[in-house]
Structure 1
Amino acid sequence: MKKIFLSTILLCIAITAFPQKENFSISLHSGLFREDFDWSIAGNMEGKAPNVLSELKWRNLKGIQYNISSSYFLTPRISINGDFTYGKISSGEVNDSDYIEDNRAQSIYDESFLSNKGYFQNLNLNLVVKKDLGRKITLNALIGYDNLVQKLYLVEDPNQPTTENLNSYYKHYWNGLQMGFDLKYLIEKFSVSAKIRSGYYSYYANANWNLIPNFNKPVSFEHKGNAYKYGGSLHLSYLVNRHLEINSTFNITYGATLSGKDYAYFTDNSTATTKFNGGELKSKYAQLGINLTF
């Protein structure tokens, strides 16, 4: 990934050395992210017996992310934008809890594990319409496709012998339509942008619980439902010249799944279905980068 970023930067710098019609831009960023994620299931499809049977909570997932974004201007006011982010998890922890009474009473299992590997990737494809609100203010409205994939692990801890050979994972997918607005204010060579995004998604997840002998592998259970996600970011930029801009971004995102279904698959070929109570995603990141226009 680092080699790809470096090669792209050198290529773009070479291209901008020649005068051209400016109808294409590319942005490269790198930064740090932090995230929490959790989900739970009930004991039956009615959401009872108990209302929270099992719950997983990932906390303080951290790592480095890389982002590449490009825009092609169909007209001075209409463009197509593509954005891809990849993040690699390097540290974090996860708690797994089971209960036999409603409202998380009478815990029968409560263990914490490492979650120091995994990844996420986020792809956006948008149609963007630009409108000038004044000499210094620009408003962009967008609509498009949003796809988020994340693989979260529970792994063995060398300091806990009971976790030996643990290498389970939960992989979830968000696919849907998003809308958003970008408001940009120019101050000579500086600019400040506020961005908001929201969307509605289909949610799917599968898991491999590698140390539970009666669960099937590689798919031990699945989650299906719908979800929503929204977020906001602050973007600061400095225009070096007409081709090159240096910028920074701080972003906060929240996502939640609505109730759905949990399908558990066992080695005797039986399937158990119960209520998926839903999940919750909280993430934030800060990154630095450049934007090249040519």
Structure 2
Amino acid sequence: MKLRLIIFFNLFMAGLMAHGQGQLTAGVSHTRQNLTWSIAGNLNGTSPNIFSELKWQRVMGAGALVAYQHPITDRIVAFAEYQHQVLVQGSVTDSDYEGDDRTGRVFFAKEDAGKGYTLASQCGLLYRVFKRKSMTFTLGGGYGLMSQRFFLLNEKMGLRSSYTNQWYGPLLTGRLQLLAESAFGITLKTTYHQVRYHATGNWNLIERFQHPVSFRHRAKGFGLENQLVMSYKMSGGLCVEVRPSYGYWTTGIGIDTVYKKDQSTPKTRLNDVTSEVLGVEVGVVWRLKN
């Protein structure tokens, strides 16, 4: 799915750029991410209600972004965005319990998580609802995907386990641009994602599990992203932007399926998965003309 989305994004953006008259943005980004998931002891969510819990915390990433907007009509604009992060620092804890509500802890480990990646891509259409001298409001829809790959690392133990996920589905977005005719501009962006969640884990030190897919997670959920875009128009048609952002993604109850070497596939309840992404982007905007 990751490869198909990247290919689609590149073709979509290249096709629009070939016609010119668009707006191209390129820049760098930095994020701090947290991800938590837990499973119960059985499909009913009991014995205990939290059997195993993984928490990735303060996982730092650095990367690049590219975005393109192309006017279709006076009121409709097509957009495509892509961002890729390399994870370089962070920690992860793994806890198992025999009692409800995180009581009777029987296992705990804290490991390095300074490896992995995050990618995010979306595309769609925006419709300008109204435009005033100092204010423009647009609504739009499209499709988006966020994929994360986190690790549990311990060189001395030979631990190199991984957890890779995808949050994907349709999106709705609203954008309020202020001070549109000024050199300084502010845009408030809110995007809602209705997502399906798929994930696979490779627990490399557990011999009774299959590899490279030791288990799968499936659930449904949503994501909410808020971004503040602060821009300054420069000479020559260039614009500099700074974009702080916060994203919250979560699922409802799902299914955890384990793949064992004896070919059995026991299932239990996935309680939930929650991801938080705090980021800042700095980019330069070019206005393309035929």
Common fold: TM-score over 0.5: yes
Given that 1:242 and 1:293 are in contact with CA atoms closer than 8 Å, whether structure 2 keeps it comes out as no
- 1:7 alignment counterpart: none
Residue aligning to 1:74: 72
Aligned to 1:190: 184
Question: Runs (4+) of structure 1 moved beyond 3 Å?
Answer: none
1:230 paired with 2:224, answer yes
Letter in 2 for 1:153: F
**CA–CA separation in structure 2 for the residues paired with 1:63 and 1:52:** 29
Tell me what 2:254 maps to.
260
Partner of 1:99: 97
The aligned residue for residue 278 of structure 1 is 272
In the alignment, which of 268, 287, 291 is matched to residue 285 of structure 2? Answer: 291
Alignment of 1:1-294 (within 5 A): 23-157=21-155, 161=156, 164-186=157-179, 188-241=182-235, 243-294=237-288
Q: Which runs of 5+ in 1 are unaligned?
A: 1-20
Deviation at 1:22, TM superposition (A): 6.7
Letter of the structure 2 residue corresponding to residue 141 of structure 1: L
Per-residue CA deviations over 1:98-137 (Å, capped at 9, x if unaligned) read 0111111100001000000000111101111123341110
Deviation for aligned residue 1:227: 1.1
**CA-CA distance at 1:242 after TM superposition:** 6.2
**One-letter code aligned to 2:112:** L
- The structure-2 alpha-carbon separation of the partners of 1:22 and 1:212, relative to structure 1 and needing over 3 Å to count, comes to closer
- What secondary structure, in the 3-state scheme, does the structure 2 residue paired with 1:89 have? strand
Q: 2:59 is matched by which residue type in structure 1?
A: L
Letter in 1 for 2:204: N
Deviation string, structure 1 residues 60-91 (Cα, Å, up to 9, x no partner): 00021211000111112111100000000000
Give the match for residue 10 of structure 2.
Answer: none
Q: Report SS of the residue matched to 1:154.
A: strand
Q: Give the Cα–Cα distance (whole angstroms) in 2 for the partners of residues 136 and 188 of structure 1.
A: 8
CA RMSD in angstroms, aligned pairs only? 1.3
Instruction: State the TM-score, normalizing by the size of structure 2.
Output: 0.90
**Under a length normalisation based on structure 1, what TM-score does the superposition of the two structures give?**
0.89
State the Cα deviation string for residues 171-203 of structure 1 (Å, max 9, x = none): 011111111111011162110111111111010
